[in-house]
Amino acid sequence: MESLLQPILNGVLLGGLYAVIAIGMSTMFGIVKLVNLAHGDLMIMSSYLSLVIVAWLGVNPLWSLLGVVPVMFFVGFFIQDFLINRVLGKEMEPPLLVAFGLSIIVQNFLLLIFTPDARSLTTDLAVKTIPLGEHLNLAVLYLVDFLLGGAVILAVYLFFKNTYMGRAIRAASDDEMGASLMGVNTRKIYAYAMGIAMMTAGVAGVLVGMTFTFYPHTGPQYLIIAMGVVIIGGLGSMKGCLAGGLILALAQLLGAHFTSPGYQLLFGYGALLVVLGLRPQGLFGGKI
């Protein structure tokens, strides 16, 4: 029993990281009905951005958030405003293709500049642990991931609930024409929504970069995690995002614990399949 505690603890903490990876994808999916296939790549782009800041200023990667997050807001805003808004509204496919194209461009752009070598954001947090018992250790870096991820999700939740812009984004998602009759410039509001989604991707990128190694082609791997979380939790739901992250991470780590680490991904997809079979709209999803 004692040996189970470690994978459960790690699973919970990793779940927080998965949730923050997915939150931006989930909001865009739920609100603008946009499947942002470039989400993972833009996230990895912010890992590289952090790498540049860290190399340049020699600071702890966490400080680089102060630069990465605002830059990613503008990246998101302009992607939506200049690219995706142009093809929005007709059908689902054109935005999907634009996002797919963007994904390829970002990957190859990163490849061109940073070469295919593995990178990571090194920090002394990575080796610190807090012993909780004889066989139980709390990895400080995982704890940072979990806390920061939780804070981001809380901030996004409060933003959507309590601000004029947040409500306008939700209103536009409910009824675009209704929202425009309230005086909402819906196209601009979508650009802001994407900016905010990319801010969360910026945080996720820095956390992922600190926790794992990354390459220019790592993006799709995280896109799949984000998709999994969104599908398990339900479209556009913040609670669902957190729950989806926890379930996916726990399924992966517990599965790996009972079999071998090689099967980690398999168990994650297994959990996904079970939820899809039993509750296709996701745990906290409403009508689609």
Partner 1 sequence: MPDEIALKVSNLDVHYKDFQALWNVFLEAQKGEIVSVIGANGAGKSTLLNTIAGLLAPTQGAIECLGEKIDGLPPYKIVPIGITLVPEGRRIFPRLTVYENLIMGSYTPRTRSSRNEALKKIYQLFPVLKDRHNQMGDTLSGGEQQMLAIGRALMSNPKLILCDEISLGLAPVVIKSIYGRLRQINQEGITIVLVEQDIKRSLKVANRAYIMLEGKMVLEGEPSSISEEQVRKAYFGI
Summarize as ranges the residues that interact with partner 1 (CB under 8 A). Answer: 164, 167-168, 170-171, 173-175, 177-185, 286
Smaller CB separation from partner 1, 139 or 168: 168
Smaller CB separation from partner 1, 70 or 178: 178
Smaller CB separation from partner 1, 261 or 286: 286
Smaller CB separation from partner 1, 162 or 260: 162
Q: 2, 1, 71, 13: which is closest to 246 by C-alpha?
A: 13
Q: 14, 11, 50: which is closest to 201 by C-alpha?
A: 50
* Alpha-helix runs per DSSP H in the chain: 2-31, 39-57, 61-78, 85-87, 93-114, 140-162, 164-174, 176-181, 186-211, 219-233, 238-258, 264-278
Q: How far is the CB of 164 from partner 1 (least distance, A)?
A: 6
Q: How far is the CB of 182 from partner 1 (least distance, A)?
A: 5
Burial of 92 (0-12, 13-18, 19+ CB in 10 A): exposed
Q: How far is the CB of 151 from partner 1 (least distance, A)?
A: 24
Smaller CB separation from partner 1, 119 or 170: 170
Taking a C-beta distance cutoff of 8 angstroms, is the pair 72, 198 a contact? Answer: yes
Q: How far is the CB of 158 from partner 1 (least distance, A)?
A: 14
What DSSP string runs through 249-263? Answer: HHHHHHHHHHS-GGG
Burial of 270 (0-12, 13-18, 19+ CB in 10 A): middle
| Chain centroid offset of residue 222 CA | 8
Q: How far is the CB of 79 from partner 1 (least distance, A)?
A: 22
Q: How far is the CB of 227 from partner 1 (least distance, A)?
A: 23
Smaller CB separation from partner 1, 92 or 164: 164
